[in-house]
Amino acid sequence: MVPIRVIRRRIRSIQSTAKITKAMEMIAASKMRQAQNRVLAARPYAEKMRDVVAHLAVQTQLGEELHPLLQRRDAKRIAVIHITADRGLCGGLNANVNRMTADFIAEQSVPVTPVAVGRRGATFMSRYSEGVLAEFTQLGDRPSLLDTLPISRVVIDEYINGSIDQVHLAYTKFITTVNQQPVMQELLPIEPARAERAATVEYIYEPSALEVLEHLLPRYVEMQVYHAVLESIASEQSARMVAMRNATDSANEMIDELTLVLNKARQELITKELLDIAGGIIQG
């Protein structure tokens, strides 16, 4: 039989683990709320931008040559912006994105160069594929648009100078607190949405439609990358919250079971002692 002292020690150790996971759960919950608010706050800008890009793309298609970011070329080399978290302890979140990107790379007939965002994905990619184009880690829990600009800069530059012909964006989409979905979407070339109101409005452009478009398109890409990073953070925090809640629950369950074992052992000990005493009295 396990000595009582050992059981007590185990209970205490599990209790302190439960305290830590509980605290982590609460931290993740508050960070998740913040991250969700950021996703929501970024939405009006993103929607407006999508409208304008859709409208402009239609306008400037007539006659003039397409802007490089809108041109579709034969893909000879593809880049994937692979967004994961810096830290683990968030369930299958990082593993899911890693797997999705790995599958994607395996399916392509042309070489794929990853751009890793987040330490978890960066380590995975450096093992999985040779030649990571760039690595961005330590973005923190609340990056500003400015922090994510270098990511979009790298792919835009490489795309324009022709060394990559397609860019995809792999990240975890936040759906609900308990549901996050790894998604892969095409970032470049830009495929403008079909806007309903596009054809109906005639704008005055200053300085000109083409020039506005030229400035707007890189912004649009930056915006999408920023958005994907925000979504990933919201997902990370909610996945961590759920993982930590499960950990706390199973820790408490273990404590309950161990307490039962402890009580039983204690009872047995007392019974044994009583029997010894009783036996002594009878004999005496």
Partner 1 sequence: MSKLKLEIVTAERVVYSEDVDVVVAPGIEGELGILPQHASLMTMLQPGELMVRQGGEEQSIFVSGGFLEVLADKVTVLADTAERAEEIDVARAEEAKTRAQQRLTMPSTDADHARVQAAMLRSLMRLKVAQRSRKRRREA
Of 27, 232, 224, 251, which Cα lies nearest the Cα of 120?
232
Shortest separation between residue 102's beta carbon and partner 1, angstroms: 31
**Which secondary structure element, helix H or strand E, spans residue 223, and what is its range?**
helix 209-283
Nearer to partner 1, 44 or 284 (CB): 44
Q: Shortest Cβ distance from residue 211 to partner 1 (Å)?
A: 7
- Residue 231 CB coordination number (10 Å): 24
Q: In angstroms, rounded to a whole number, what is the distance separating the alpha carbons of residues 275 and 284?
A: 14
Residue ranges in contact with partner 1 by CB under 8 A = 38, 41-42, 44-46, 48-49, 52, 56, 144-145, 201-207, 209, 211-212, 215-216, 219, 222-223, 226
Q: Among residues 165 and 222, whose Cβ is nearest to partner 1?
A: 222
* Smallest distance, partner 1 to C-beta of residue 31, A: 17
Q: Are 112 and 185 in contact (CB under 8 A)?
A: no
Two structure tokens written together for 103:
């599958």
Instruction: Give the separation between CA 203 and CA 241, rounded to whole angstroms.
Output: 48
User: Smallest Cα–Cα separation from 31: which of 138, 140, 137, 121?
Assistant: 140
3-state SS assignment for residue 180: strand
Which residue, 40 or 270, is less far from partner 1 as judged by CB? 40
Q: How far apart are CA 113 and CA 65, in angstroms?
A: 28
The residue (of 217 and 244) whose beta carbon lies closer to partner 1 is 217
CB of 54 to partner 1, least distance (A): 13
CB of 29 or CB of 209, closer to partner 1: 209
Q: How far is the CB of 218 from partner 1 (least distance, A)?
A: 12
Return the number of the residue (50 or 173) whose C-beta is nearest partner 1.
Answer: 50
**CB of residue 52 to partner 1, shortest distance in Å:** 7
Kindly state the tokens that stand for 23: 């605290």
SS3 category, 73: coil
CA distance 235 to 1: 45
